[in-house]
Amino acid sequence: MENMVNVYFFGKKYSVPGDLTIMTAMEYAGYTLKRGCGCRHGFCGACATIYRIKGQNELKTCLACQTQVQEGMYVASIPFFPTDKRTYDINEIKADQRVMMELYPELYACIGCNACTKACTQGLNVMQYIAYAQRGELEKCAEESFDCVGCGCCSVRCPAGISHPMVGLLARRLTGKYIAPKSEHLENRVNEINSGAYDELIEAVMQKPITEMQELYNHRDIEK
Amino acid sequence: MFTPDMLESIKKVEATRDARMGMEPRRMTAEEKDELLKAYHPDYRAEGFKEIKIGPNKGQKAPVELTDLLHSNSRLLGSHIDLNKIDYDVDVLVIGGGGAGSSAAIEAHEAGANVMMVTKLRIGDANTMMAEGGIQAADKANDSPVQHYLDAFGGGHFAARPELLRRLVMEAPDAIQWLNQLGVMFDKDTDGNMVTTHGGGTSRKRMHACKDYSGAEIMRTLRDEVINRGIPVVEFTSAVELLKDEKGQVAGAVLLNMETDDYFIARAKTVIIATGGAGRLHYQNFPTSNHYGATADGLILGYRAGAPLLYQDTIQYHPTGVAYPSQLFGALVTEKVRSLGAMLVNCEGEAFMHPLETRDVSAASIIRECTTRGKGVTTPLGSGVWLDTPMIEMIGGEGTIERRIPAMLRMYLNYGIDMRKQPILVFPTLHYQNGGLEIGGEGFTKAIPNLLVAGEAVGGIHGRNRLMGNSLLDIIVFGRNAGKAAAAKAREVTLGTANLNHIEEYAAMLNDAGVAQAGVSPLLLPNYARHER
Ligand SMILES: Cc1cc2nc3c(=O)[nH]c(=O)nc-3n(C[C@H](O)[C@H](O)[C@H](O)COP(=O)(O)OP(=O)(O)OC[C@H]3O[C@@H](n4cnc5c(N)ncnc54)[C@H](O)[C@@H]3O)c2cc1C
Ligand code: SF4
Ligand code: SF4
Ligand code: FES
């Protein structure tokens, strides 16, 4: 027999193979998941989960698809958490401190408890990226929050009611659009194409017989 | 944590590493590739395919699991839903909340259309969110759209539809610029030059990335923009059938609330199918890199309504899925790991192929190594070959892995494997649907004048194999285009009365052919729940 462990889904006990993830263990137990399951590979943040190991008092947060079951695990999924995304027109706002103040004023109610960082399923320094956002250091906030999957586990634990993933997202969009240097080669190429510089060349290659295309393809030079 | 046998094999990999560092394995000749594919690629395994017996592609082959769904009836057959009680009435209905659907919705909205999106899970719970490696565009001085065309055309075995491929490569730089202006943070140097790398089958370094969260960065930006614009997004709701009218147009869709099992009617002047791929059908029992909702629904909906498929018999198996540990089985190891210098190495420590052959060739080569050649490493769920990741740090300097592929590093560290110090085990995983519904250059299906398709649900853009980075590109290029085209078309469409006659006709065809399956389609979600009785 496989190595079985006892886990508790929403308080009810199930015996499941110990090498499963929380997500596959729920399916093993008979659940047909509808909420709380998206990419199944750690990218979408749909499977935010809170658990406690029997006999320990610490509450832990994790992604159900990326976490192996353990003996005595009490599991509750958090398939939805009311984070608060503020809407804006990306073309109308500016990359400065004021935008954070206006859209996410609760940022300044942070009490520095670090619960968000402890809860982060991606191991990010969440409190730090919130601090950057407060100070209007948008680029740093963007970098620090870049690997965020938006699971919301930080927000679940925050006494100040901050919607951390939304703050990071705003900082990243502002950075990508306004702060990061422009790509001249990209603009040039778009202009060349729009001015028709490649029209004839592309037509010509589209008309070539397959045998000629095979020749060209098999002998094309490959950049080192 | 590796097993003792694996650790033994790792020693052999380490022993040859220094010697391998300086060399570049030979690329295969065209003839060698052909032979390899015929002998080892899953697309050539006859037992994995079955003939389609009815409809526009009658007589052609498709994977068994897909054919079975095409040979199934609608769940609405014989039901008495009142089609005249309309819950949503819009110009443009977008089915699917991935990258293609979101791009389409944004552009349709920009064009002034009344647009709404329905999606099975949440917006962004989609294959797009998972793309790691990057997105192609010929925007560097040594590159051109023509070179991009050649790479994609050859990589797709000269089967791409020229008018579609032309759009893909010509609109690529503009797609990158559009994303950048929406705030996507591409990897750039301090002067603003995009950091670009090779992908399998590229002849120029044109892979743009956002670390190894490329798809996530694009998806979350698009999602944010959809929400900012106030476009209605109906989540946890699947389209289960297209509606048609007496003129043969589509007239909207029947929707199913996944949580309450209630049906809703959406009427629309144009419909865009953007439902993505089919990995969760687990063709030939392969594991998959795809998200939970990738069950080829759009193909079923479109086909039942009369739209033909193209290249439905070509599937992409990504050469490097996780072979070990089993908790990650089938998850993707991005191709960028090889772009950054990691070699594919067998259990003896031999580099058995060039790491950047196209995906189909690489997958077939790994399967050969693990089967007839007997040089795979045994794992609890099968076997795999090594991907020698410590080479990345030797080539790019310490810290390269953390900087360039943090998601990969994190995924493995969760299970006690440090890919900076130890190689990882990989085996092909079911990754991408090369084929899909056939469209013309403007994004419309040829059979139904106001039905559009965008993204992975389309067949023909890439031919019979797709290069890394061309899919994220196609969902943006063709998604945007579909949104614009659907908005414009909606102005000319007058709808008749909605009906579901086509599902009755389809049932009759299945009956006549004697192939009707017991279940219903589309599948919506894979059956993973285990029940003891
Ligand atoms: C792990 C992984 C890595 C990848 N890496 C790369 C890469 O580096 N570069 C690259 O170019 N490509 C990559 N790809 C491929 C690329 O990401 C996808 O092909 C592309 O994003 C598909 O986009 P889409 O919008 O067509 O489909 P998706 O993003 O999958 O969106 C489809 C949406 O439709 C929903 N849906 C499905 N059926 C229904 C229904 N019946 N009703 C309502 N909604 C429905 C789905 O749930 C989903 O939300 C990768 C794919 C995967 C899985
Ligand atoms: S910072 Fe992002 S990844 Fe970390 S817990 Fe918060 S939402 Fe999840
Ligand atoms: S949990 Fe909230 S209050 Fe505590 S440090 Fe994080 S942001 Fe500040
Ligand atoms: S299901 Fe997407 S992160 Fe777990």
Residue B521 neighbours by CB distance under 10 Å: 24
Q: What residue ranges of chain B have pLDDT lower than 70?
A: none
Whole-number Å distance between alpha carbons of B82 and B86? 9
Q: What is the predicted pLDDT for the residue at B358?
A: 86
Provide the pairing of β-strand B315-322 with B344-345: unpaired
- Quick: pLDDT tens for B201-230: 899 999 999 998 999 999 999 999 999 999
User: What sign does the CA torsion over A117, A120, A123, A124 have?
Assistant: negative
Contacts of B274 (CB under 8 A, 6+ apart): B94, B95, B96, B98, B100, B101, B104, B298, B453, B454, B455, B457, B475, B479, B482
Whole-number Å distance between alpha carbons of B187 and B64? 41
B411 touches chain A (CB under 8 A): yes
Q: What is the predicted pLDDT for the residue at B133?
A: 87
Q: What is the predicted pLDDT for the residue at A98?
A: 94
Contacts of B461 (CB under 8 A, 6+ apart): B160, B161, B164, B165, B168, B470, B474, B478
Whole-number Å distance between alpha carbons of B188 and B192? 5
B341 lines ligand 1 (CB under 6 A): no
B407 touches chain A (CB under 8 A): yes
Q: Give bridge partners of residue A210 from the DSSP assignment.
A: none
Q: Which amino acid is at B428?
A: P
Contacts of B32 (CB under 8 A, 6+ apart): none
- Quick: pLDDT tens for B375-401: 999 999 999 999 999 999 999 999 999
The complex scores an ipTM of 0.97
Enumerate residues lining ligand 3, CB below 6 A: A 110-116, 127, 130, 157-160, 162
- Quick: pLDDT tens for B90-147: 999 999 999 999 999 999 999 999 999 999 999 999 999 999 889 999 999 999 999 9
Of A177, A190, A201, the CB nearest to B173: A190
Q: Pick from A16, A41, A198 the residue to mutate for testing the B interface (most B CBs within 10 Å).
A: A41
Q: What residue ranges of chain A have pLDDT lower than 50?
A: 1
Q: What is the predicted pLDDT for the residue at A1?
A: 46
Q: Yes or no: say if B445 and B452 are a contact pair by the CB < 8 Å rule.
A: yes
Whole-number Å distance between alpha carbons of B116 and B108? 9
**Catalytic position from the list B318, B404, B480, B502:** B318
Residue B492 three-state SS? coil
Q: Yes or no: say if B353 and B28 are a contact pair by the CB < 8 Å rule.
A: yes
Q: Yes or no: say if B426 and B384 are a contact pair by the CB < 8 Å rule.
A: yes
Q: What is the predicted pLDDT for the residue at B199?
A: 87
Interface of A with B in 23-42 (CB under 8 A): 24, 27-35, 37-42
Residue A40 gets the label, from left (phi > 0), alpha (psi -120 to 50) or beta, of left
Q: What is the DSSP string of B40-107?
A: H-GGG-GGGEEE--SSTTTT-EEEHHHHHHHTSEETTTT----TTS-SEEEEEEEE--SHHHHHHHHH
Q: What is the predicted pLDDT for the residue at B246?
A: 97
